[in-house]
């Protein structure tokens, strides 16, 4: 799910054009979320060993949040990197 055209630039809200608070950079792109619920959904998706069926994909037009994640985030080989990025986001919340 991309809010911006450049995957190497920080994510910004498309309506308010402000940088999102819950985000961190990885070597493949940015991991970001609007809120903790969104971040938790991404984490549960990435951790899931089998990602078929409900609740991950709508069998129609594939317009769910996780179906629109960048391809690199959906690949099992990047699972550890994405989970480390999510852990960094959570740790940044504890420091504030």
Q: Is residue 79 part of a domain?
A: yes
Q: Is residue 26 part of a domain?
A: yes
Q: Is residue 16 part of a domain?
A: no
**Which residue shows structure tokens 């054009």?**
17
Is the predicted pLDDT of residue 2 greater than 60, yes or no? no
Taking residues 16-42, what's their average pLDDT? 91
Q: Is residue 68 part of a domain?
A: yes
The H or E element spanning position 15 is none
The residue segments making up the domain with residue 85 are 22-95
Q: Is residue 10 part of a domain?
A: no
Which pLDDT score, from 0 to 100, does residue 17 have? 83
Q: Is residue 86 part of a domain?
A: yes
pTM of this structure: 0.78
Structure tokens at 32: 């970001």
Which pLDDT score, from 0 to 100, does residue 69 have? 87
Taking residues 57-85, what's their average pLDDT? 81
Q: Is residue 1 part of a domain?
A: no
Total domain count for the chain?
A: 1
Which pLDDT score, from 0 to 100, does residue 1 have? 42
Q: Is residue 90 part of a domain?
A: yes
**What percent of the chain is modeled with pLDDT above 90?**
46
């Amino acid at each position: 799910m991309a809010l911006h055209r450049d995957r190497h630039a920080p994510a910004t809200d498309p309506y308010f054009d402000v940088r999102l608070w819950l985000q961190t950079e990885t070597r493949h792109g940015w991991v970001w979320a609007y809120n903790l619920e969104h971040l938790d959904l991404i984490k549960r998706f990435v951790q899931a060993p089998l990602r078929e069926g409900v609740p991950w994909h709508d069998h129609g037009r594939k317009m769910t949040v996780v179906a629109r994640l960048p391809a690199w985030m959906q690949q099992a080989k990047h699972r550890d990197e994405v989970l480390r990025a999510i852990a960094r986001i959570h740790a940044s919340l504890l420091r504030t």
